[in-house]
Amino acid sequence: MPKDYYATLGLHPEATQEEIKKAYRKLALEFHPDRNSGDKGAEERFKEVQEAYEVLRDPKKRYAYDNAGFGLSGDLGSSGSAFEDLFGDFFEDFFGRGTGRSKRAKRGADLRYDLDITLEEALHGAEKVITVPREEVCGACRGTGARDGVAYVPCGQCKGTGQIRYAQGFFAVQKPCMACRGTGRIVRERCETCHGAGHQEVIDKLTVNLPPGTYEGMRLLVEGKGQCGSNGGTRGDFYVYVKFKPHDMFVVRGLDLHADLDVHFVEAALGAQKTIPTLEGSAEIRIPQGLNKEQTLKLSGLGLALYGKPGRGDLYVHLHVLFPKKLTAEQRDLLVKLGKEFGIELPQSEGGLLGRIKGAFR
Ligand SMILES: [Zn+2]
Ligand SMILES: [Zn+2]
């Protein structure tokens, strides 16, 4: 059995990174060996919590874990450590932000894209091309923001490091330099292409391959296609979150599909053959003779699939018997005859249609 890291941290699989961090900190402190010396159970729990967090804290590892068994493994590159998350923030909280942890090179932000797909695409898989605006390092100034990449001097305040050190009690604290905003450079002449920003928005086209059995909420990772980093930092990643478009006919519940189908009362009474659309085309269904008002037909294996798992969900067709709101004179005649055949007493009205019928047979 694979371990359920979400359960270990008491979370649901859609938990945000912030929720994961919070849950981890609470549990890690609760079961910390320093507080539970000699307690084997607590020690075991502490290890489990640690292990779960090591995976879920890192978007790439979490992605790989979420999609484990689906054959979509991401790069398991990691950034920082659980230890830093547990204690790093405490230091920040107590001694001010950025305690010796700031780096000049900043990794670019991850980007998220919500991709709406049809149920047919989910079932069969699809290749989708999406258009994404994102930040790229400006080529004209190589990200420096200075004309031709050379029209700058090192910042005198921080001597080009981008960081200023302060003594604060027993600690030396580093903060980004205000004079150069942490870049270490004072631009003399701005780059004309990016107006000194060092980066530019570009419109990129990304091809995303959805495997057969793509499910709602699935996350696909396109590595290195997020925002560019700054000061030589690596690029962020690009995440595609899959959502289903509403379907004309089907409502999705898990892997099962549900459809409503109106059946004329004559068809309900006599039984009938009907063609209904399915995700792969169409299927024949047989309306049983003497259909009751509400009945559900199950078409096995015509639902959705789950990537990497055998089998498919089912299609449920909910039949509703429909009676016409208006009748023509002929239809009414026939129904009256039919009623008589069934021995149904119908209200008589001399001047009405029934009267005329009676007259005709006299
Ligand atoms: Zn530029
Ligand atoms: Zn500076």
Asked whether the beta carbons of 277 and 284 are under 8 A apart, the reply is no
Q: Which ligand is nearest to the CA of 179?
A: 2
Q: For the chain, give the mean pLDDT.
A: 82
More confident residue, 121 or 102: 121
Distance 37 CA to ligand 2 centre (A): 47
Cα 89 to Cα 205: distance, rounded to the nearest angstrom: 38
Q: Which residue, 67, 88, 84, 85, is CA-closest to 76? A: 67
CATH class of 1-95: mainly alpha
Domain 1-95 and domain 251-322, same fold? Reply is: no
Class of domain 251-322: mainly beta
Residue 96 predicted with pLDDT over 80 = no
Expressed in angstroms, the distance from the first to the final Cα of the chain is 83
Residue given tokens 């075991």 in the structure block: 44
Q: What is the mean pLDDT of residues 291-306?
A: 90
Check whether 327 has a pLDDT greater than 70.
yes
Least confident of 4-8, 9-13, 94-98, 340-344: 94-98
Burial of 169 (0-12, 13-18, 19+ CB in 10 A): exposed
* Ligand showing the shortest atom-to-Cα distance for residue 194: 1
User: Distance, CA 186 to ligand 2 centroid (Å)?
Assistant: 8
**CA–centroid distance, residue 200 to ligand 1 (Å):** 8
pLDDT the model gives residue 282:
94
Q: Reply yes or no on whether the pLDDT at 112 is more than 50.
A: yes
Domain boundaries, the chain: 1-95, 251-322, 329-361
What pLDDT does residue 16 have?
83
The model scores a pTM over 0.75:
no
Between the CA of 224 and the centroid of ligand 2 the distance, in Å, is 29
Instruction: With CA atoms as reference, report the closest residue to 225 among 130, 350, 118.
Output: 130
Distance 232 CA to ligand 1 centre (A): 14
Residue 28 has pLDDT above 90, yes or no: no
Residue 61 has pLDDT above 90, yes or no: no
> What integer pLDDT is reported at residue 89 of this predicted model?
40
Q: What is the DSSP letter of 36?
A: S
60 vs 46, more confident:
46
Q: Tell me: pLDDT of 126 over 60.
A: yes
pLDDT digits (tens, 9 = 90+) for 194-228: 998 889 988 989 999 999 999 999 999 988 888 98
Q: For residue 167, is pLDDT > 70?
A: yes
Average pLDDT over residues 281-292: 89
Q: What is the mean pLDDT of residues 100-109?
A: 63
Give 176 Cα–ligand 2 centroid separation in angstroms.
8
